[in-house]
Amino acid sequence: MMAYSEDHIALAAEYALGTLDAEERAQVETMMSVDKDFTAMVGAWEHKLGVLNQMVGSVEPRPEVWDKIRTATGLAEPQAPLVLPDAPQPPVAPEVSEPAAVVDPSNVIRLSTEARRWRNFAALTTAIAAALVAMIAVGVYQPDLLPEGIRPKPRTQVVEVKTPSAPTPSAQYVAVLQKEGGSPAFILTVEGATKNFWVRRVGASAEPGKSFELWLISDKLQRPRSLGVIGNGDFTARPVLASYDTDTINTATYAVTIEQADGSPDGKPTSAPVFTGKLIETVPPAAPPHSPAR
Amino acid sequence: MLTPAELVWLIAAVAKGDEAAFERLYAATRAKLFGVVLRILRRQDLAEEVIQEAYVKIWNSAGRFNPGLSSPITWMTSIARNRAIDVVRKRSELSIEEEPAAMEVAADSPDPLARREMTEELKRLLECVGRLEPDRQKLVLLAYYNGWSREQLAAKFETPVNTVKTWLRRSMMDIRECLGL
């Protein structure tokens, strides 16, 4: 790759970060169209920063989106049901899994360095977790219901749930599951309309051979009901809440217990909850725009 | 979620016009891409438009994906995210966000064991971001995750835009040096 000035490098980096204005972005895109090396540099930055998206929660788009994509790509004609041939074994991809970060306890110097690093990490993961909570809160923002003139400026806030009897299609609920006074371990998101829910891990890791199981605890029910074992993936989505009524879902306490690897054997929690939380409704309040940042 | 290898295979099939592969690719990645752009655009309708354009672009340019240079999900997410940033930069009315109260929730340090769930690449990047001054760490994360402009960041940090510009540039250069880019 040819040598670029620091200005060019910074431009590529900030393009990937996203902080350039519209004109500068157009400039970068022009440069990319004529300079392969510059394109590669931008791509390298996008790749380096792109790993941050591992921490971002998934949100299902509406099914209509796929219809529009099919139309736009000219695939909209009816097709025979898809029967996929067996995929050939995919080529071996770069290893993306995570070897456990094991600290060697016999090495004291290394341990203290590692401890410091972990503290830094903890602070960073906190910042990211905070950004993620904020993100979930904005996911419900649906200003389209209002005419242009009176749309509130985008702004988000999390408030205590007011148990709506009929949730609007866009209503979304979030519970932060944590130890009392502790940091968030899981973030539970429930979509009001479908009662689908998603669980995101933010600060918990099961011991080998154990698993985290999520429970719904409600005074309307005689015993805790399992919502399933929280998978090892970053994100777990399940439809099982659909059998509970909205009021139960909104008022329940959500709890996580530590169970054997594949969950409680008899459908009852075998240990006390480690993390608990209640749902809060995330709503877009109409608030004065440009309120001070703090 | 499919493995990166499976996604590579799907993109290769999409490049040959395999519609079934495109549908599987969409099913496997749509929620991630949508989550990323929705957070930046903060409007369902805009996010849907962007995601639609992104997948059309993915369909049309699958043949240009180079698995040696990028991971499939990063490549796809970059297409969608870049489109989202373009849209948000052109819409001045999407104005400054107040930091939501919900951000206060995460006041304590999470269990550092969460590290185990991160890929090596993410750990490495976070090590480098972690070496920045605390304010600049936040600056970079807010810029990336929320797609904020310099003006929005300046308002958030109550500092002139030019200062933010300098901070961003230095931060990226520091990260570059740290990553050995």
Q: Do domains B4-89 and B101-179 have the same CATH topology?
A: no
Q: pLDDT tens for residues A220-236?
A: 888 888 888 887 666 66
pLDDT tens digits for range A158-194: 433 433 333 333 566 777 787 766 666 787 877 777 7
Phi-psi region at A41: left, alpha or beta (left = phi > 0; alpha = psi -120 to 50): alpha
Q: Is the pLDDT of residue A15 over 80?
A: yes
- Does any CB of chain B come closer than 8 Å to the CB of residue A36? no
Tokens of B79: 């297409």
| Strand duo A172-178 + A184-191: pairing | antiparallel
CB B112 within 8 A of CB A121: yes
- What is the spatial distance between Cα A122 and Cα A116, in angstroms, rounded to a whole number? 10
Alpha-carbon gap, residue B6 to A277, rounded angstroms: 36
Residue B179, Cβ density class (10 Å: 0-12 exposed, 13-18 middle, ≥19 buried): middle
Q: Percent of chain B at pLDDT above 90?
A: 64
- Which residue is closest to A277 within chain B, CA to CA? B105
pTM (2 decimals)? Answer: 0.57
Domain range annotation of chain B: 4-89, 101-179
Query: DSSP letters of A25-52?
Result: HHHHHHHHHH-HHHHHHHHHHHHHHHGG
Name all domains of chain A by residue range, CATH numbers in brackets: 6-55 (no CATH), 152-283 (2.60.40)
A119 to chain B, closest Cα gap in Å? 7
Is residue B93 predicted with pLDDT exceeding 70?
Answer: no
Q: How far apart are CA A12 and CA A35, in angstroms?
A: 12
Q: Are A207 and B113 a contacting pair, CB within 8 Å?
A: no
Q: How many CB atoms lie within 10 A of CB A16?
A: 26
Phi, psi values for residue A176, rounded to 5°: -100, 115
* ipTM of the complex, rounded to two decimals: 0.88
Among residues 36-75 of chain B, which lie with CB inside 8 Å of chain A?
A: 36, 38-40, 42-45, 47-48, 51-52, 55-56, 59-60, 67, 69-71, 73-74
pLDDT band at A62 (very low <50, low <70, confident <90, very high): very high
Amino acid present at A152: P
Give the number of residues written for chain B.
Answer: 181
In this complex, do A183 and B111 lie within 8 Å of one another by their Cβ atoms?
yes
Residue type at A141 in one-letter notation: Y
* Residue B101: both structure tokens together: 């109260």
CB B172 within 8 A of CB A10: yes
The pLDDT value given to residue A94: 43
From the CB of residue A157, how many other CB atoms can be counted at a distance below 10 Å? 16
- Residue A263: left (phi > 0), alpha (psi -120 to 50), or beta? left
Task: Give the model confidence (pLDDT) of B59-79 as tens digits.
Answer: 999 999 988 888 899 999 999
Tell me: domain B101-179, CATH 1.10.10.10, correct?
Answer: yes
In CATH, which of 1.10.1740.10, 3.40.640.10, 3.50.50.60, 3.30.465.10 is domain B4-89? 1.10.1740.10
CA of A60: how far to CAs of A63, B107, B145, in Å?
Answer: 9, 29, 18
Torsion angle in degrees (nearest 10) through CA of A9, A15, A18, A19: 60
Q: Could you tell me how far CA B66 lies from the centroid of its own chain?
A: 19
Which residues in chain B have Cβ-Cβ distances shorter than 8 Å to A135?
Answer: 35, 38-39, 145-146
For residue A61, what are the CA distances in angstroms to A262, B60, B87?
30, 21, 18
The shortest CB-CB distance from A202 to any of B56, B114, B126 is to B114
pLDDT at residue A159, as a whole number: 38
pLDDT at A17: 97
Which residues does chain B have within 8 Å of residue A288's beta carbon, measured at their own beta carbons?
A: none
